[in-house]
Amino acid sequence: MKKLYTLILAAGLGKRMKSDLPKVIHKIDDKELVKYVIDQAKKTGSDEIWLVTGHKGEMVREATKDLNVNYVEQKEQLGTGHAVMQAEKALEGKKGNVLILCGDVPLLRPETLISLRDYHTASQCVATVLTTEFEDPFGYGRIIKNASGNILKIVEEKDASDNEKKIKEINSGVYVIDKEELFESLKHISSDNASREYYLTDVIGILTSQNKKVGTYLVKDNTEIQGINTLEQLQQAESIIRSRR
């Protein structure tokens, strides 16, 4: 099996958490959000785990220093694509797949990620996007597919047309992508969009435009992919984690 390098995006400010702490070190049951994600990565069989830190990154590093993880820094928060770019040098010369996780998504079950990894390998895709469906998908990037059901691209909420906004299948922000294809594609993304950011999602459109095989893997339980942006969502996630015990 190919090596698996996990990147955990952990640079966010967390403005809506009403706190000066980096978002990923807010706690559920006295355990930082990012530690739940590190556990996910380890149980998926990651060979190396890299945290992309930013806002008050020293606090994130201090909280995770005993967990056998590595760090790269995103000095400016210019989007998810820009965050991943920061790891290119760290992974130079290495071959395998990159699993991209979000440091504020603590509810993903390891078995979901193992199934994603296995599907990616079995289907011989260069990239696989973890997706789910919401009756009200507001705020999420929409999965745009062709008539055959193959993914074409991901369109962010701010850039979506009225028709695209009706699509219920959304991007979870979790991917498995061939390392070399990932960093080659990142060279071609731009910040010409409504947020003026470098979107990681644009990598998918670049790969499909080159007729590379890109897949989607649907997780039925959409609570697994819900991120933490507010104190209310933190409490909801805590309830879900406790209900699983």
Name the CATH superfamily, with its identifier, for domain 4-243. Answer: Spore Coat Polysaccharide Biosynthesis Protein SpsA; Chain A (3.90.550.10)
Closest-CA residue to 231 (of 37, 39, 23): 23
- Scan for tokens 């099996």, then name that residue: 1
- Token readout for 214 is 């890109």
CA distance 39 to 15: 25
Tell whether the model's pLDDT for residue 245 goes beyond 90.
no
pLDDT band at 135 (very low <50, low <70, confident <90, very high): very high
Helix (H) or strand (E) segment spanning residue 162: helix 162-165
3-class secondary-structure state, position 139: coil
Confidence of residue 18 (pLDDT cuts 50, 70, 90): confident
Q: How does residue 55 score in pLDDT terms, banded at 50, 70 and 90?
A: confident
pLDDT grade for 15, boundaries at 50, 70 and 90: confident
Per-residue pLDDT tens over the stretch 68-110: 999 999 999 899 999 999 999 999 999 999 999 999 999 999 9
242 an active-site residue?
no
182-228 pLDDT, tens digit each: 999 999 999 999 889 999 999 999 999 999 999 999 999 999 999 99
pTM as predicted? 0.96
Q: 55, 84 in Cβ contact below 8 A?
A: no
> Among 135, 151, 154, 143, which Cα is nearest to 81's?
154
- Of the residues 16, 61, 242, 245, only one is catalytic, namely 16
Of the pLDDT bands very low, low, confident and very high (cuts 50, 70, 90), residue 13 is confident
DSSP character at residue 220: S
Spans of all domains in the chain: 4-243
Segment holding 27, helix H or strand E: strand 27-28
| Whether residue 16 has pLDDT greater than 90 | no
What is the rounded average pLDDT for all residues in the chain? 96
Which residues does residue 102 pair with via DSSP β-bridges, in sequence order?
9
